[in-house]
């Protein structure tokens, strides 16, 4: 978002777009809630340690609102405090996926008239990821949020490989099916293993010599378009993405590359 766009936003009265703070009980009070686990048993000292950590985070008047013994020497805390920092909302620019978002019928009509054949798409949850909610929302016939998934599109040949698919298996399917596009979903990971997994797949496709003709897309709650670009992908879609958004992007990109 550019600074000139801020004036067009319906901001609450009294909000300075160039000094935005969290809202709790009153405008600009900076009140926030944070939670974390400490590797120490629950006791008065651990509660005080949590409160002091809140202060070191920059919170004014940190208060431990809730604490719980997790067992095995671990404890959990919820804190309230007032954040003193503000952000210049008017200077924030977020990379966004470039797509002509059109309807189900318009997408199919364009692919048929311009490309003249079905777009071949392979999708999967790769690595150790067993959560198919995201990839199913985009690819399965029933779709998501009132929209059909790619399997329902007459001009898409969509193959959903499911969960825990090794990158080697996915690459083999990409080559065998002569895929135009690849969708990779990463939902739950630890220690950012999803980033390594996604980067590995991009490198493998590059090494295969087919990267230029493959539209490579990743998605998930921890994925942004900016992250996707850094990993070597063409686009990244986050939580709440609808099937038509992905279909529109794929149609645009495949047609552009095959033109």
- Residues in contact with 201: Cβ distance below 8 Å, sequence separation at least 6, in sequence order: 126, 167, 170, 171, 182, 184
Percent of the chain whose pLDDT exceeds 70: 95
Task: For residue range 8-56, list pLDDT tens digits in order.
Answer: 678 888 889 889 999 999 999 999 999 999 999 999 999 999 999 999 9
- Confidence at 2, pLDDT banded by 50, 70, 90: very low
- CA gap 259, 254 in Å, rounded: 8
The per-residue pLDDT for range 120-148, each reduced to its tens digit, is: 999 999 988 888 999 999 999 999 989 99
3-state secondary structure of 157: strand
* Residue of 2, 82, 142, 258 marked active site: 142
pLDDT at 5: 62
pTM score: 0.74
Instruction: Give the model confidence (pLDDT) of 202-250 as tens digits.
Output: 999 999 999 999 999 999 988 999 999 999 999 999 988 999 999 999 9
- The domains spanning 3-89 and 104-258 adopt the same CATH topology: no
Q: Looking at the domain 3-89, which fold is it?
A: Defensin A-like (3.30.30)
Residue 172 pLDDT greater than 80, yes or no: yes
Q: Residue 160: which of 75, 246, 74, 232 has the closest Cα?
A: 246
pLDDT-derived band of residue 168, with 50, 70 and 90 as boundaries?
very high
Q: Residue 97: is its pLDDT beyond 90?
A: no
**Boundaries of every domain in the chain:** 3-89, 104-258
Contact predicate 60/84, CB 8 Å: yes
CA distance 184 to 182: 7
Active site residue 4: no
Q: What is the β-pairing status of strands 181-185 and 215-219?
A: parallel
Sheet holding 74-83, edge to edge: 31-38, 74-83, 59-71
Name the CATH superfamily, with its identifier, for domain 104-258.
Answer: Cobalamin-binding domain (3.40.50.280)
Query: Band of the pLDDT at 1, cuts 50, 70, 90?
Result: very low
């Amino acid at each position: 978002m550019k600074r000139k766009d801020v004036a067009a936003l319906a901001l609450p009265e009294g909000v300075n777009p160039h000094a935005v703070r969290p809202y709790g009980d009153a405008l600009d009070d900076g009140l926030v809630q944070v939670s974390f686990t400490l590797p120490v048993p629950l006791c008065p000292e651990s509660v005080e340690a949590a409160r002091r950590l809140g202060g070191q985070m920059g919170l004014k008047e940190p208060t431990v609102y809730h604490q719980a013994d997790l067992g095995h020497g671990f404890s959990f805390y919820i804190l309230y405090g007032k954040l003193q920092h503000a952000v210049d909302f008017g200077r924030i620019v977020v990379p966004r996926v470039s797509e002509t978002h059109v309807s189900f019928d318009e997408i199919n009509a364009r692919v048929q008239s311009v490309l003249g054949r079905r777009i071949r798409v392979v999708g999967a949850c790769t690595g150790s990821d067993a959560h198919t909610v995201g990839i199913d929302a985009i690819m399965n016939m029933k779709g998501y949020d009132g929209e059909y998934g790619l399997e329902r599109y007459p001009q898409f040949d969509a193959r959903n490989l499911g969960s825990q698919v090794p990158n080697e298996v996915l690459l083999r399917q990409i080559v065998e099916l002569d895929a135009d596009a690849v969708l990779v979903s990463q939902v739950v990971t630890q220690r950012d293993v999803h980033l390594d997994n996604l980067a590995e797949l991009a490198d493998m496709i590059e090494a295969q010599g087919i990267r230029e003709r493959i539209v490579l897309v990743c998605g998930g709650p921890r994925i942004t378009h900016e992250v996707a670009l850094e990993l070597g992908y063409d686009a990244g879609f986050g939580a709440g993405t609808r099937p038509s958004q992905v279909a529109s992007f794929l149609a645009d990109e495949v047609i552009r590359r095959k033109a």
